[in-house]
Amino acid sequence: MAGRNHLYIPGPTNSPHEVLSAMHLPMEDHRAPTFPLLLTPVLEDLKKIFRTETGQAFVFPATGTAGWEIAFTNTLNPGDKVLIYRFGQFSHLWMSMAQRLGLDVEFHEVTWGKGIPLDHLENRLKEDTKHEIKAVLATHNETATGVTSDLAGVRKAMDASSHPALLFVDGVSSIASLEFKMDDWGVDAAISGSQKGFMLPAGLAILAFSQKALALTETATFPRCFLDLKDQMAQNALGYTPYTPSTPMLHGLRAALDLLLEEGLENVYARHHRLAEGTRKAIAAWGLKLCAEPGFESDTVSAIVVPEDKDARDVIATAFNKYDISLGAGLTEVMGKVFRIGHIGDMNDVSMLGAIAGVEMALLDSGFDITPGSGVAAAIEYYRSTSTAA
């Protein structure tokens, strides 16, 4: 097929030319005297993305999943109680990891389509008068269902309960795309990955920790070696890493940070919201609904529910095989029930219109009763009326 595959999944996302070019370079000596000139500014500029002045940023040659484990094993102890709400596949996987590591996991089921219930969280923490809960695990953006939870509200609920628990945030599909304020929201461990808002290939766990959390590395008793923050802190202070890093990925991250900071984080957030709104206008014009309930809609991914007599996998297969478009699949409990459109990373109006047009053709081919051109027209009108271009 002529042309290229068009990637409209919520990760990996499209990599800008500047990022790809930055990674295309000869191998280099990661122990050279000049290496700190690359690593140290990257770590400092990551703090700007996390919106922290007091925290510390880290980069591991790993993934966001490893980031979850880094947060657990460097700050907690086996048997510690943690609290999590399960409302999608990724909150489920984070919960499962905590259980497998030997933490005492208290989890509460939430309808897939909703996010963290703030009233329940506040009341549960108030009930915990002995402060047995050591950490609250908050999935900021549940990629499987296209749901974003209110992190500012989570912090407000924790403060209202006067509970000292740590706040861990899975921000893999939100940080560098959605509003995130580590210091203002009192986040103790923020976990992300390179393949989402940072617009890189998968392969880097990108994290930030509060000073409160870092102090706990001295008392945490989980076995750890490769994932030990103390080794990172010791070497990062000198401008190096404790083991061989992926130098091409670090150069790519440097380029991605330059793009994000040049655009300005508030503009990055606004762009993602606008692209998501145009996509939602198209979905409504097709007569379809989001998995996310009102108030929980994500600005990085839309999970679209298909009618009961349809299978979302048919839409995904048609889009890929006939139109060379990659869409996100429904996972576990929503498999076959939803398909997902990613609107995260290196995207603009025309990018999203291409996705919407391709999805519309796949829906028509799959027998959906929609009006040809309806979704595209709705998105076009929204983007035209909200354009900030001169």
Computed over its alpha carbons, how large is the radius of gyration of the chain? 21
pLDDT of 233 higher than 70: yes
Q: Which token pair is 133?
A: 């809960």
Q: Which token pair is 316?
A: 């995904």
Exposure b/e, 53-71, CB count within 10 A at least 16 = b = eebbbbbbbbbbbbbbbbb
Query: pTM, whole model, 2 decimals?
Result: 0.97
Assign domain 17-262 to a CATH class.
alpha beta
Q: Which token pair is 305?
A: 């529910």
Q: What is the mean pLDDT of residues 146-150?
A: 98
* Domain at 6-12+265-386: CATH code: 3.90.1150.10
DSSP string, 49-109: HHT-SSSEEEEESS-HHHHHHHHHHHH--TT-EEEEEE-SHHHHHHHHHHHHHT-EEEEEE
Task: With beta carbons less than 8 A apart as the criterion, state whether 91 and 117 touch.
Answer: no
List, for residues 40-99, the tens digit of each pLDDT value: 999 999 999 999 999 999 999 999 999 999 999 999 999 999 999 999 999 999 999 999
**Rounded Cα–Cα distance for residues 146 and 304 (Å):** 9
List, for residues 287-322, the tens digit of each pLDDT value: 999 999 999 999 999 999 999 999 999 999 999 999
pLDDT of 1 higher than 70: no
Q: What is the mean pLDDT of the chain?
A: 97
Could you tell me what percent of the chain has a pLDDT over 70? 99
Q: For the sheet with 289-290, list strands across it.
A: 6-8, 325-329, 338-342, 301-305, 289-290
Residue at token pair 């103790």: 188
Say if residue 153 is exposed, middle or buried (CB neighbours under 10 Å; 0-12, 13-18, 19+).
middle
pLDDT of residue 3: 82
Torsion 167-173-177-179 (CA) sign? negative
List, for residues 8-21, the tens digit of each pLDDT value: 999 999 999 999 99
Q: What is the DSSP letter of 10?
A: S
pLDDT of residue 388: 77
**Rounded Cα–Cα distance for residues 164 and 207 (Å):** 21
Q: Which token pair is 243?
A: 């083991």
**Rounded Cα–Cα distance for residues 231 and 60 (Å):** 11
List, for residues 366-385, the tens digit of each pLDDT value: 999 999 999 999 999 999 99
Task: With beta carbons less than 8 A apart as the criterion, state whether 265 and 46 touch.
Answer: no
pLDDT of 364 higher than 70: yes
**Rounded Cα–Cα distance for residues 152 and 161 (Å):** 14
Q: How far is CA 238 from CA 47, 56, 242, in A?
A: 18, 14, 10
Task: With beta carbons less than 8 A apart as the criterion, state whether 47 and 207 touch.
Answer: no
Amino acid identity for residue 206 in this structure: I
* CA 84-86-90 angle, 5° bins: 100
Q: Who contacts 55 (Cβ-Cβ below 8 Å, separation ≥6)?
A: 47, 182, 183, 190, 208, 209, 210, 211
pLDDT tier at 387 (50, 70, 90 boundaries)?
confident
The gap between the terminal CA atoms of the chain, to the nearest Å, is: 36
Could you tell me what percent of the chain has a pLDDT over 90? 98
Q: Give the max Cα distance, the chain.
A: 64
DSSP string, 101-137: HT-EEEEEE--BTB---HHHHHHHHHH-TT--EEEEE
pLDDT of residue 234: 98
- For the chain, the domains span 6-12+265-386, 17-262
List, for residues 254-267, the tens digit of each pLDDT value: 999 999 999 999 99
